[in-house]
Every structure is written in structure tokens, then in C-alpha cells.
Amino acid sequence: MSAAYDTYDYLSYWLGRGYEHKAEALAIREFLQKIKKVRTILEVGAGFGRLIGSYAFRAKKVIVTDPSSKLLRIARDRFRDKKKFRFIHTSLENLPDKVRGGSIDLVIIIRVMHHLKNLEESVSILARIVKKGGYLILEYPNKRNWKAIIKEVLQGNLTFPLDIFPKDLRSKRSVKLKKLPFFNYHPDKIQSLLVSNGFSVIEKRSVSNLRSGPLKRALSIDTLLFLERYLQKPLALLSFGPSIFLLARKKG
């Protein structure tokens, strides 16, 4: 993410996306049940604080970061408990200068990975911040989601599911204008990076599996979430959905 979000109406983006928001909050809450004790939680790229309510109740201290001063100001206005919340205006790259290494029980990073220019460096930074035995909840956009596979295979790209290189979804014009990158990642690439940085993956969930215009128009949010609850774990085995959530623990 970058300060480009200072000029983007990100709150309006989430209008009409109640299912996607609640599906992500569901995955986070399910992961939290597998963590016995959390004292400090840090969310990287928290934006306007959309997901804070899904995890803040578990920790005594919550650190919220974002490179957008505009979004961070909105989050600060929503969560005013100064003893509990700390807000830091920073990018992920500069986070080690703001937060002591090995000091965080749980780091959460949702809808951020797709904008990162250096994936290897970013995962290394996350690993340095999490304490030994601490946890990471990481979301990444799934290159191998079912829609993408069908599209590529129909276009004759039969080896697409095996291609581990990130796919940049920007148009040629956006690349030329040097707009924010928008990468989708192969699950094997993310998994191997976590392992090489000292993490073991505890659980994987496929999220927003029913993200379809016709389905969202035909079914209520409650019905979609009822189905989503029972689909996230089994569909993770197939890396089915557009968004993959991982719960990982740092060795130590």
C-alpha cells in the first residue's frame, strides 16, 4: 500500500461489499480461537480500521499502522482508547524503525500483499517483528483461484496452475504511469517464503468463495456467510477462492 490511498475513496469501495468484509472477519475470528494468549496485536495496513473490531478484544495493546495519513486519521477517530490503541503512520518497509523487533505476539496483514513491490523483503520484515512463538495472520490474493484457472485454460495456457511467478493485474498504461502494483500470488510461493523465514503454517482458509455478482444478488448476506463458514477450510485444500488467509506461528 502507499500514500496513493490518501486520494482514493476507500470507504466507498466497501459499500456493497458486506459479504466480503464479514467473510474476512470470520476467518480472523476462527484463527484467534487457535491462539491461547495474545498481549499485543499489530495490524499492518489497517486502513480506516475496517477489521479492528474483529480482533481488538483479544489484546491489551493494539498497534495500528498505515501509510495513508487520511485513513489512519479515520481509524483513530473510531477507536479513541489511548491506553489500548497506538496509531503509527508508516509503510511496511519502515516499520522496523517504529516497532521493536521480536516484540509482537500477533501481526495481522490483510489486503496489503498485492501492493508490495518486494515480497521477500516484506515477509522478512514481518518475521523480524513477530516474537518467537508468536503468530502471523496473513492474507494474499490467490493467483490460482478457480476463476483465473478456467480463464487461462480456455485461453490455452494449460501450464498456468504450475506457474509460481506473481501475476501483475495492472494494465500496460498503469504500469507506464507507475501506479501501485497489484500482484496475485501462487500459494506455493507464499508458503515457501513463510517457511524460509521461520514460520510454520497452522491453518489455511479460502475466503470470499462466493464472491459473485449473481450469487450476491440472489442470496442474502446471512445465507452467504452461513455457506462461507463451512466452505473456508475444505476449499482451502484446493486454493479455490480469490483470497487465501494463513495462520502461521514463528518457531522458537
Q: Render pLDDT for 88-131 as a digit per residue (tens, 0 to 9).
A: 999 999 999 999 999 999 999 999 999 998 999 999 999 999 99
Q: Which pLDDT tens digit goes with each residue over 168-189? A: 888 888 777 778 889 999 999 9
pLDDT score of 134 more than 80 = yes
Q: What per-residue confidence (pLDDT) applies to 207?
A: 98
Q: What per-residue confidence (pLDDT) applies to 252?
A: 84
Q: What is the mean pLDDT of residues 191-217?
A: 97
Domain extent listing, the chain: 3-142+184-250
DSSP state for residue 248 in the 8-state scheme: E
Q: What is the mean pLDDT of residues 149-173?
A: 90
> 137 and 24 in contact (C-beta within 8 Å)?
no
Domain spanning 3-142+184-250: CATH superfamily: Vaccinia Virus protein VP39 (3.40.50.150)
- Give CA–CA dist 82/69, Å, rounded: 18
- Please give the grid coordinates belonging to residue 147: 476463476
How is 162-174 classified by DSSP, letter by letter?
A: G--S-EE---HHH
Q: What is the mean pLDDT of residues 146-165?
A: 92
pLDDT score of 242 more than 80 = yes
Q: How many CB atoms lie within 10 A of CB 203?
A: 16
